[in-house]
Amino acid sequence: MGFIWNLTRLNGRIDRRGVRLVSSVSMSWDVARTRLEHLADKQGIDAAKLFVTSQVEGDLRPPVVRDDAVRTFGKAEEDIRVTLYRDPAYWCPYCQRVQLQLELKRIPYRVKTVNMRCYGEKPEYFRALVPSGAIPAVSFDDGPVKTESLDLMLEIERMFPDSSPLIPSEDNEELYKIFRSFMQLERRLFSSWFQYMFSGGFGLFGGGKDNFLSNLEAWDAAMGQVSSGPFALGGSVCLVDILAVPFVERMVASALYWKGINIREDYPGIDAWLRGMETEFPAYKAIRADIYSTVHNLPPQTGRATFDSGSDKFREVIDGVGSNWELPLVGSASYDRIYGDDSEAKIEAAAALIRGSEFLVPFAMRSVGVRKRTVSAPLADPDAQPVLWGKEFVERALYGVAFALIDGTEAPEAIDAAQSIPADEQRKVIASLAYLRDRIGVPRDMSPGAARQLRSHLNWFCRSMLGEERWAEIKPEYAVLSA
Ligand SMILES: N[C@@H](CCC(=O)N[C@@H](CS)C(=O)NCC(=O)O)C(=O)O
C-alpha cells in the first residue's frame, strides 16, 4: 500500500526562508505507480512484472534470492529436489556458477540465503550444517548439505542427465579433449588473475602480470576455437562456460579498475564470448553484475588489490567521478556493456524506487545516523541506525527522482521536489541520495542499465537542487569510499 503526502496546505506558498514549497496538490507513491504503469503499457512492457517481488515462475531476475524463494519451472513445489544456499547480495561467484547451471537445466530449486562473512555472522543453523560456513552449499533430496562448487555441479550433472547435459560425451573424443583442456585452462587463468590482482604485487615476474596476460591470450584464442557459435564449445552453453564466466566477469572489472587493462577491448575472442553469454543466455544476463558493483564487492572477499599507474582514468569513470553519472548520459563513458534501451532502464529504476520507497527512505538516512563498523565490507552497514529527522525531505527527493525517471527531468513533480527542499535540509538530502547511489548493487537491486540511470538521476536531483556550480564544488565530498 502506498501512502499519501497531503501537501495541500503548502500549495504554492513560499516558506519563511524564501524556498518555494511543493505546489502539487497531493503526491503519492500510488500516483507514481499508476503513471509508471501507464508508461510501461505504452512501451509494450508488462507493467505487472515490474511489481512482482517473488519470482516463482517466469524470467529469472532479482530479487529471486530471498529466503525460501522457489524456482519451479512449472513443476510442483513438492517435486523440488535441490536446496541451494547462497548469499543474497549476489557477491559470491561460486554460488553464481551453481545457480546458472540450475537455471540453464531448468532444475527446480529452493533458495536459502546465507550471508558472506564480510557481511556479518552466519546464521547458527547454517553453522550446524556447514561448520566452515562455506557457500555455495547444496542439499539434494533433503540429504546432507554438501559444498565445493565443482563437485556440486558434477553431482547435478549426474542426478539430472536428461536436462541439457553440459559435459560432452566421452565418445566424442575430439570435443571431449577440447572440453578437458578448457577446464584446465580456466583454472590456470583463475590462479594467474588472483595472484596478479590480490597478492600485493609480490609474485614473480612483476607481480604475475605477464603470466595473467598470457593466460588471457590463451583464453581469447580458446573461445574462438570452436567457431560454430559464441560459447566455449560452439552453439550451446556447456559446463566450461558456466564455470568460467563468473570469474572472467570479475577479471574484466578488476583489471580495468586496478590495473588499467581493458580486456574487452584488447581480447576480441573474450569479448565475443562474453557478449554471447550476455545476450543469448538469459539467466546469465539476469544475474551478471556491473563493473562498479564488482570492484566494490571483491576486496571484502579477496583482500585489497593494488592500483597500477594508468588505471586512474578508468577508475574515475567506474566510480562515477566527473561526468559519468550525470545527465544527459548520451556520449558519457561507460565500460559496462548495456543492452536494451534507456527508456526500459528508466522504467526499471523507477519501479525499484516505487516498490521500495518505504524501505529506501530509512535506508538512505543511515548516512546521517549512527554508523558503526561491525562488518568488514566497507559499503555494508547492517547495524547503522538512521536518524529520521527530516525524513519527509528525503522522501520528497526520492519521489522527485522517480518522476524524473518516468516523465523526464522537466516533469513538474521532479522540479518542484528539487526546488522545495529547504536550504538547511539540503546536506541531509545529498548525503542520503549519495549513500543510496553508492549502494545500488547489480544484479541484486536492478540491471546494469537501470543502475546507471538511477545513479545519474540521483545526482541530477542534487545538481538541480543546488545549481551546477555548487554541486560541482561539493560533489567530491560525496564520492564513494575508495576501494
Ligand atoms: N572451492 C570452493 C570455494 C567457495 C568459496 O570460496 N566460497 C566463499 C564465497 S565466494 C565463501 O564461502 N567464503 C566464506 C564467506 O565469506 O562467507 C567452491 O568452489 O565452492
DSSP assignment of 65-114: -STT-EE-TTS-GGG--EEEEE-TTS--HHHHHHHHHHHHHT--EEEEE-
User: Nearest CA to 33 among 50, 18, 16, 46?
Assistant: 50
**Ligand 1 atom at shortest distance from the alpha carbon of 152:** 20
Report which protein residue has its CA nearest ligand 1's atom 11. 134
In the reported structure, the alpha carbon of residue 301 is separated from the centroid of ligand 1 by a whole-number distance in angstroms of: 9
Helix (H/G/I), strand (E/B), else coil: 21: coil
DSSP string for 290-310: PHHHHHHHSHHHH----PPTT
- Give start-end residues of each CATH 3.40.30.10 domain in the chain: 70-159
Most informative mutation of 85, 87, 94, 126 for ligand 1 (most atoms within 8 A of CB): 94
> What's the pLDDT score for residue 18?
47
Cβ contact 325:451 at 8 Å: no
185 CB near ligand 1 (under 6 Å): no
pLDDT along the chain (483 residues), means of 10: 36 46 65 95 87 60 70 91 95 97 94 92 95 97 97 97 90 95 97 91 70 97 90 95 98 97 97 96 93 95 90 93 88 84 94 93 92 84 88 96 97 95 96 96 93 97 97 93 50
Q: Largest alpha-carbon pair distance within the chain? A: 83
134 CB near ligand 1 (under 6 Å): yes
Instruction: Evaluate whether the domain defined by 4-43+323-478 bears CATH number 1.10.490.
Output: yes
94 CB near ligand 1 (under 6 Å): yes
In the reported structure, the alpha carbon of residue 90 is separated from the centroid of ligand 1 by a whole-number distance in angstroms of: 13
Report which protein residue has its CA nearest ligand 1's atom 2. 148
Residue 481 gets which letter from DSSP?
Answer: P
- Give start-end residues of each CATH 1.10.490 domain in the chain: 4-43+323-478
84 CB near ligand 1 (under 6 Å): no
275 CB near ligand 1 (under 6 Å): no
196 CB near ligand 1 (under 6 Å): no
> What's the pLDDT score for residue 17?
46
In the reported structure, the alpha carbon of residue 134 is separated from the centroid of ligand 1 by a whole-number distance in angstroms of: 5
Global confidence as pTM: 0.92
120 CB near ligand 1 (under 6 Å): no
CA distance 278 to 286: 9
CA distance 309 to 299: 19
In the reported structure, the alpha carbon of residue 149 is separated from the centroid of ligand 1 by a whole-number distance in angstroms of: 9
Q: Which CATH number does the domain 70-159 belong to among 3.20.20.70, 3.40.50.300, 3.30.365.10, 3.40.30.10? A: 3.40.30.10
Peptide bond into 448 cis (omega under 30): no
Could you please state the CATH topology (level 3) that the domain comprising 173-314 is classified under.
Glutathione S-transferase Yfyf (Class Pi); Chain A, domain 2 (1.20.1050)
Cβ contact 445:352 at 8 Å: yes
- Give start-end residues of each CATH 1.20.1050.10 domain in the chain: 173-314
CB atoms within 10 A of CB 379: 15
CA distance 438 to 92: 19
